[in-house]
Structure 1
Amino acid sequence: MQSQIDQPISAEDAQRIEKNMSFLTQQLAQDAIRDNFIEQLIWDVPHFEEIDGENTPQKRNEVFLKLLLRSGPKAYEIFIAALKNHNSDHIVEKLVSTEITENNQAVLDHFASLTDDRKTHVLVDTDLLKFNKVVGSDIEIFGKALQLKQADIDGIRMVNPLSVPTQVHQIIQMWKNKNGKLATLGRFTKNLMDAAAAGARIYWDDFYKGVKEVTS
């Protein structure tokens, strides 16, 4: 069976998930609904193994949701239907009632909110793993926003076809190696904004968690 994790869900549905991420990681019973995804040929067994590799229900829910975000529009429909079938109407109501907003200003605010000290912080090798979950399946857009060549992006994807975090890490590593002392947090943030403007889904909550860890 070939899974369909190769495209994001719609921007509106992604907002519904992302704006309720904390609520969902606490309330979701993903183990009760996830069989629907394998039955509908959305996920494969390795994706379940990725979820089950985490050691707490909240972390497993987080991995489930991040897989959902990069599993295509059909996956969200399956998700909602599964919630309804398992008496999780309160989650469905929460998602349906979520206000959908334009993203452009929010993206600009991410850069403006960085202090000068954070903008000029030069990323070192130990910093890079803090950002390996800032983007989902939009690897090509992400790599091009970091000004990598198509051949470099293709090579990274070929070597690590099943691990998106590994692909993201290696793209950032290659970007850092090419930029040297210019590989600052401010420049990286701007590149993320470029990726978002080009259509990549950036997980800004994960980004700011990483910023806090590398600058504290």
Structure 2
Amino acid sequence: MNDMDKTRLRINRSLILQEVRIEHVRDFLYQEGIISEEDMDRCGNVTKTPRERIACLLDLLPRRGPEAYKAFCSGLQETYPWVVEKLNSTPIPETQTKTLSSTVLPNKEMNTGETSERQRIREPYTELNHTVIKIVTRSEALNKYKDVVRALGVPQPDIDQIEYANFRDLQEQFYQCLLKWQSREGRNATVVRLIEVLREEDYNSVADKLDGYID
């Protein structure tokens, strides 16, 4: 999920907690592969209050891939159209807009040939490759690899299919899921994006290893 959509959810969190019930959107998000059965059980726990359930979902969504915000709004549209309208019309604070714009500038400079020597060295290694995949699949991220690949945008049905085809082999499941991400995203399946997701999921040590690899 991009920073602007995260901001929209944060600004409207109180509204969503007050208005939305998880039962009206949970199944749709599962159907679209945004959340897993484990997520459904965690956030739909009957011991939680309705407010706690939707809060749980809001905490998960930013880590569930680039399509999570769009799917959330689609799931809300039938029952809560006013919430969707409020979300999509929420102005992003000017300070954040400037921050986002400033992060785009270096990429524009790279495209115009004004790259530094270090950037030219890094460039061949920004796409996913076997060495990167090997580092990640042998790390502590293995035990909860599904959280990582869902955050990368791999649909839940694809994850389930890969798990079934490689029963009891977690490393191969993780490996195949990363290849699935690469086949879906092409050149957008970069090491930089993988590092971002690993940090979002609190796997900083393996993210640091990848940072060292592409330096």
Name the TM-score, length of structure 2 as normaliser: 0.45
Give the structure with the higher percent helix.
Answer: 2
Q: Taking structure 1 as the reference length, what is the TM-score of the superposition?
A: 0.45
Q: Which has the larger radius of gyration?
A: 2
